[in-house]
């Protein structure tokens, strides 16, 4: 038989350790939660760039934006699916219901879910109902959950955080008990948990998936980047051994046009979060980017439902629209590293009166 000698200083244990450190791991994660809970802020912090719109307007995340965190040292890649905020059907119109369905269906193709809760908001009957609906979806899809209490810095006195965490845990246990009861009775555990999830459930009705066995709780302040590293470590620890889906320098699937539109949309909702409806349609008429990204020019058209909203966005002497373009210009410079950014935006209404 052949005998292979190891190079000097390289032992079998060292080879084994090196081999283990070279194994790529990845995890697909859905970020869920009530509107304005801080999902997009957390996503942008985790991936280290502006991926998803951040503003006080409810439901600014219009698509299931994918953000990618790649740690070459740990050989871990986390792919985030950022979703619209969950809004109860009884309090929502058709468009918001569409966003609602998108948030529920995002649970299916992921490995784990982060359920964000606004810790500064009172956990009343409405907040409990929305939280339980999200947890029901995760149980039906058999996806482990980490509950993240965000905006902990805004909670006073601090013992309120523990009371909220306790209420959330009891709500989670209640969801598990109801779903387990449905399985015992031979009922479809997906009934009432949300359209689009029945096909996501990989197990049969005999499933005994118990969400409470793996559920973990975190208290963070995404706005102050406090506690975010704990969430990151949690996700890293649950990554699976499999090849990365994206190159290490990619943080989003957006191209330049999509990223620029996302930034403009954020500034619109940030400035007009009380006056402008959800359905502000954006159309990019022209986009020019220099090869070295030192220059970018975009001409975009906004479509709003009526003329009064058009006038609000434009403002007196065009000042409101100018402020939106100025803020978006600075964000685009930072996000794309451009030296010069030219933005031209026109606003039209589908109905004049």
pLDDT of residue 62: 47
308 within domain boundaries: yes
Is residue 42, in this structure, part of any structural domain at all?
yes
Q: What is the mean pLDDT of residues 292-310?
A: 90
Average pLDDT over residues 147-166: 95
> Is residue 225 located within the same domain as residue 291?
no
Residue 119 lies in a domain: yes
Q: What's the whole-number mean pLDDT along residues 200-212?
A: 58
Same-domain pairing of 32 and 73? yes
Asked whether residue 206 is domain-assigned, the answer is no
Question: Is 262 found in the same domain as 127?
Answer: no
Q: What are phi and psi of 291, to 5 degrees?
A: -60, -35
Q: Is residue 177 part of a domain?
A: yes
Residues 59 and 108 in one domain: yes
Say if residue 136 is in the same domain as residue 263: no
Report the share of the chain in percent with pLDDT over 70. 72
Query: Over the stretch 285-298, which tens digit does the pLDDT of each residue have?
Result: 999 988 887 899 99
Written as six digits, the tokens of 22 are 């070279």
Q: Looking at residue 320, which CATH number applies to its domain? A: 3.30.300.20
270 and 231 together in one domain:
no
Q: Rounded to whole angstroms, what are the CA distances from 183 to 136, 177, 178, 191, 213?
A: 13, 10, 9, 11, 18
pLDDT digits (tens, 9 = 90+) for 232-276: 999 999 999 999 988 888 888 777 888 888 889 888 877 886 666
Taking all residues of the chain, what is their mean pLDDT, rounded to a whole number?
79
The CB-based long-range contact list for 2-8 (8 Å cut-off, 24+ gap) reads none
Pair 151, 280 in one domain? no
How many angstroms separate the CA atoms of 96 and 154, rounded? 28
**Scanning the structure block, which residue is given the tokens 């032992």?**
11
In a domain, 57, yes or no: yes
138 and 176 co-located in one domain: yes
Same domain, 218 and 277: no
Q: How confident is residue 185, by pLDDT bands cut at 50, 70 and 90?
A: low
d(CA 278, CA 271): 13
Task: Report d(CA 299, CA 294) in Å as an integer.
Answer: 17
CA distance 189 to 326: 50
Are 84 and 112 part of one and the same domain?
A: yes
The domain of 304 spans 256-349
Flag whether 125 is in a domain. yes
- Which CATH number fits the domain that encloses residue 32? 3.40.50.300
As a whole number of angstroms, the distance between CA 62 and CA 54 comes to: 11
- Residue 299 lies inside a defined structural domain of this protein: yes
Structural domain total, the chain: 2
72 and 155 both lie in a single domain: yes
Confidence of residue 3 (pLDDT cuts 50, 70, 90): very low
Residues 279 and 147 in one domain: no
């Amino acid at each position: 038989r052949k005998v292979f000698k190891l190079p000097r200083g390289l032992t079998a244990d060292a080879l084994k350790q090196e081999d283990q450190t070279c194994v790529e791991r990845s995890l697909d994660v859905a970020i869920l939660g009530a509107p304005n809970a801080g999902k997009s802020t957390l996503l942008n912090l985790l991936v280290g760039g502006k991926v998803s719109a951040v503003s006080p307007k409810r439901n600014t995340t219009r698509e299931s934006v994918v953000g990618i965190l790649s740690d070459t040292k740990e050989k871990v890649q986390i792919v985030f699916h950022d979703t619209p905020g969950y809004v109860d059907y009884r309090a929502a119109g058709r468009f918001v219901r569409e966003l609602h369905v998108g948030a529920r269906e995002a649970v299916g193709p992921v490995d784990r879910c982060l359920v964000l809760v606004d810790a500064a908001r009172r956990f009343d009957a409405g907040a409990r109902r929305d939280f339980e609906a999200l947890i029901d979806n995760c149980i039906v899809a058999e996806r482990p959950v980490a509950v993240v209490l965000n905006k902990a810095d805004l909670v006073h006195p601090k013992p309120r955080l523990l009371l909220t965490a306790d209420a959330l845990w009891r709500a989670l246990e209640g969801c598990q008990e109801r779903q387990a009861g449905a399985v015992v009775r031979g009922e479809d555990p997906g009934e009432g948990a949300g359209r689009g999830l029945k096909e996501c459930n990989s197990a049969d009705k005999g499933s005994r998936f118990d969400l409470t066995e793996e559920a973990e709780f975190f208290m963070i302040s995404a706005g102050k980047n406090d506690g975010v590293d704990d969430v990151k470590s949690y996700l890293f620890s649950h990554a699976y051994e499999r090849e990365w889906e994206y190159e290490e320098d990619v943080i989003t699937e957006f191209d330049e046009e999509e990223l620029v539109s996302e930034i403009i949309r954020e500034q619109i909702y940030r400035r007009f979060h009380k006056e402008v409806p959800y359905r502000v349609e954006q159309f990019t008429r022209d986009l020019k980017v220099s090869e070295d990204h030192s220059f970018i020019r975009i001409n975009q058209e906004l479509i709003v439902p009526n003329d009064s909203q058009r006038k609000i966005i434009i403002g007196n002497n065009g000042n409101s629209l100018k402020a939106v373009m100025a803020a978006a210009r600075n964000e685009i410079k930072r996000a794309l590293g451009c030296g010069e950014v030219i933005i031209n935006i026109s606003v039209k209404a589908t109905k004049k009166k």
